[in-house]
Amino acid sequence: MIETSGVIEREQGNGFYMVTLDKPEGHQCLCRAAGKLTKFRIKLLAGDKVTVEISPYDLTRGRITYRERNMGAPRSGGGHRPGGRRR
């Protein structure tokens, strides 16, 4: 597997995303989110920086394995409670 980074350009529907890769420069591939991302309900939006695995046999398809954290976004207290941590 080839592992590279890229940016999500748009959501194609049915769980697919069009990703523009950093290496090779400007190459686009159609990617799905890996099982762990869907299991833990990680949201993927256009503009997110992601890590992608690509098969050497088909360079037009891939799997998104990691979404980089947005350092500017505020963190909520935690869990499923809307108010944050219980005090």
Residue range 3-25, pLDDT digits in tens: 999 999 999 999 999 999 998 89
2 pLDDT above the threshold of 60: yes
User: Residue 51's closest CA among 7, 12, 9, 1?
Assistant: 7
Domain ranges in the chain are: 1-65
Q: Would you state the pLDDT for residue 69?
A: 87
Residue range 49-84, pLDDT digits in tens: 999 999 999 999 999 999 998 766 666 555 566 666
Position with higher pLDDT, 80 vs 26: 26
**Against a cut of 0.75, is the pTM above it?**
yes
User: Residue 52's closest CA among 37, 39, 71?
Assistant: 37
C-alpha span between 47 and 1 (Å, rounded): 24
Q: Would you state the pLDDT for residue 41?
A: 93
C-alpha span between 41 and 54 (Å, rounded): 22
Side-chain-side CA neighbours of residue 44 (13 Å)? 30
User: Is domain 1-65 annotated with CATH 1.10.150.120?
Assistant: no
